[in-house]
Chains A and B, each alone.
Chain A
Amino acid sequence: MRGWDDMKRCAPLLALAICGRALEAGGTNAVAPVAARDFYNAGTELLAAKHFAGAEEMFQSALAAQEDRVQPPALYNLGHARFDDGMAALKSGPSPQSLAAQGNASGVKAGLAIRRAESALAENQLSKMVAAYLGGLGARRELDSVEEAVRQAMKTCGDTLDKWRRAEDDFKGAAELNPADTNAVRNAQIVGQYIDWLVDSLRQMQHLGAMLGERHHQLNEVLRQIGGRIPEPDLPPGAPGGDQDEDGGMQPESLRGLKEEVSRAGKPIGVRLSPDEAKQILEGISVDDSRQLPMNETRTGQHREKSGFTW
């Protein structure tokens, strides 16, 4: 009996401790979703917070639980999450219109560089060839960057297209599961229109990429021809080789042994530059101030014998 009395006395304290523990757990730890409804609610919260990838995962888990009541709204929201995710990815990159404008401008510049190079080749004047060569290198660099941007944009568009196609199927599925859901039907139609627009944009980018690739090829060809005509000492510093020549450009080794073209009179062509031509050439050379090596005043430049191990 005494034991029972002790227990009764301790009961309020015990209850208080249990309640405190429960409150603490509720305040600090979020309860992990376990049922389809929990997954759906968690997904909806994430969708509202614009965490699309997390929302997609939650809705998929809600669907995988195979609960008939939860499936239609989860599928509808999954379509929303996927569509919004694709839209966000598309907005993070350059717009297809600006990219097209940029690509067209680069294409025009490359075309001009090609024409200048061709006329320099026809005139066979070293100074003009050097200038055209430098101009061509600049145009090629710009083409490279635009081509890379187009590639990235096409990849983003491709990923978005996959997401939107899935979103369209999700909305169609939601309408199939719940025929009364006219919103799902309407959303499927809207996503379909967006898909058409995206496919058109992708086609335009493909054409742009093809045009840029062709210009790149022509430019490489003409630069190779000019590089073959310019004697090694007259080649602009840093012009051949390097990372710009990875796709068919002139390699330093290939220039070795080439002789300067001999004029009709049998004398080598002298390099005579007018002040304007010299200015043009100098403007063509981009100087990167940030990459200057530090000057060393103490080192004489003599070769130092290395002693010890070579590793």
Chain B
Amino acid sequence: MKAAVLILLTALPCPPGAARAATNDCFADGVAAYRLGQFARAARDFEKAAATRPAAGTLVNLGLSEWQCGHAGPAILAWERARWLDPFDARARENLRFARHAIQVEAPGLKWFETLSGWLPAGAWLWLAGANLSLATGLMLLPGILRRPKAGWHQAMAAGALCVFLFSLTANVGVLSRTRLGFVLEDNAPLRLTPTRDGEVTATLTGGEPARKLRTRGKYDLIRTEYGTGWIDRGQFGLVSGQ
């Protein structure tokens, strides 16, 4: 298992033609730089590619480049973003498992509706909710508008669509809640008591540690971690949703 994960980590990144990967110049440059062992340059190229056109493959490669540079925090964030876009991406999942084991950080603790929201890509739940609401409404209203008798299957399908709509509503709440989830980017990032430059340090965080953003003040984010609540410099913290 470990060998498999190692192979996964050291393997070449996604080729430009891979599924869901952006096929722009930056991506190709990143792949070339990665193959040459220029991981810092590769990370920069993949970051540009991901900013232009976010894709799970690009983010997986970005994570690999960052990991090779020794930046565990940005690597974990990139793989988490890849899973945000594509929860079925096995490489991102395995890399996350390997990296967390290697640097001894925990995966974020999710509530049940957040776990549920991770079954599909974040955007898919909104589509699902909209489609099912439309379907249920259509099945309830269209027979009357078209002056046709309501069949039993109309009502059964409308009920089913309504159930799926309610289910996807819960998942959407989970997605919304997960937008507050983020990861510490730098090692030994200070968690301060106040949003000030010389604020008292209450804890020192490791890169890749999960936290939830509560609010912002100035150039600081108030986050809640397992070590308590405090302020962190915005540059040292990244949200999974990228917002």
Contacts and interface: CB of A to CB of B under 8 A. Distances in A.
Nearest to A68: B217
Interface in A61-112: 63-64, 66, 68, 71, 75
Contacts of A173: 194, 196-199
Interface in B172-209: 193-200
A177 interface: yes
Interface residues of A, number: 14
Contact of A169 (B195, B200, B229): B200
The CB with the most chain B CB atoms within 10 A, among A64, A66, A68, A177, is that of A66
A162 to B, nearest CB: 12
A176 B196 contact: yes
The CB with the most chain B CB atoms within 10 A, among A68, A166, A170, is that of A170
The CB with the most chain A CB atoms within 10 A, among B194, B195, B196, B229, is that of B194
Nearest to B231: A66
A169 B222 contact: no
Interface in A29-86: 60, 63-64, 66, 68, 71, 75
The CB with the most chain A CB atoms within 10 A, among B196, B199, B214, B222, is that of B196
Interface in B190-243: 193-200, 214, 217, 222, 228-229
B200 A166 contact: yes
Contact of A63 (B194, B197, B198, B214): B194
A130 B46 CA distance: 85
Contacts of B198: 169, 172-173
A75 B194 CA distance: 9
Given A66-B222, A68-B217, A176 B229 contact: no
A64 B195 contact: no
Interface residues of B, number: 13
A172 B193 contact: no
Nearest to B222: A66
Contacts of A71: 194
Interface in B146-196: 193-196
Nearest to B228: A64
A113 B193 CA distance: 56
Contacts of B228: 64
Contacts of A166: 200
Contacts of B214: 66
A173 B199 CA distance: 6
Nearest to B215: A66
Nearest to B192: A173
Contacts of A177: 194-196
A75 to B, nearest CB: 6
Interface string A173-188: 1001100000000000
Nearest to A177: B196
Interface string A120-139: 00000000000000000000
B199 A64 contact: no
A172 B217 contact: no
Contacts of A172: 196-198
Contacts of A64: 193, 228-229
Given A166-B200, A169-B199, A169-B200, A63 B217 contact: no
A71 B228 CA distance: 17
B229 to A, nearest CB: 7
Top 7 nearest A-B pairs (CB, nearest first) are A173-B196, A169-B198, A176-B196, A63-B193, A173-B194, A172-B198, A173-B199
Interface of A: 60, 63-64, 66, 68, 71, 75, 166, 169-170, 172-173, 176-177
14 contacts: A64-B193, A64-B229, A66-B214, A68-B217, A169-B199, A169-B200, A170-B200, A172-B197, A172-B198, A173-B196, A173-B197, A173-B199, A176-B197, A177-B194
